[in-house]
Amino acid sequence: MAEKKINGRTVRYDRLPGDQALDLMLRLLQLLGEGDTLLESVLTADEGESDKLAIVGLLKFAKNMNVPEVKGFILEMVGYCRIDGAPAMAGVMDLAEILQTARFAIQTEFGSFFADGAGSVLLKAARAA
């Protein structure tokens, strides 16, 4: 379980069971394709550096983005969160809050994997391809 204050509200994310997390990670990698810079931006702890990487990553990623799939993934990640104890509902959140909440969920679920080894290998392979 991880918690973070976003817009003055407490957002909570409980890590998913391994099989479900694996499905999501594979979807994330498939969605990003050449968007490894975007993934790195989401997983970077330093928010200033993360924002810089995100701009570069979004420009690169937007060229081939599957909008419905990416939107669905973001909203699904938000849906796994709780805000002030209630289920997160993207329909009542502004865009910035949706993206910050999704980023928090993705960092919590996948951050250690990509920082520790196997994920780093995948990122390096994506860059080399």
Q: Residues 54-105: pLDDT tens digits?
A: 666 666 666 777 888 889 999 999 999 999 999 999 999 999 899 899 989 9
Give, to the nearest 10 degrees, the angle between helix 95-115 and helix 18-32. 110
117: containing domain: 2-128
What is the total count of domains within the chain? 1
Give the pLDDT confidence of 104-129 residue by residue, as tens digits: 999 899 888 776 655 555 656 655 55
User: Given a cut of 70, is residue 23 above it in pLDDT?
Assistant: yes
User: Phi and psi dihedrals of 87, rounded to 5?
Assistant: -55, 140
Closest CA to 25 of 60, 76, 68: 76
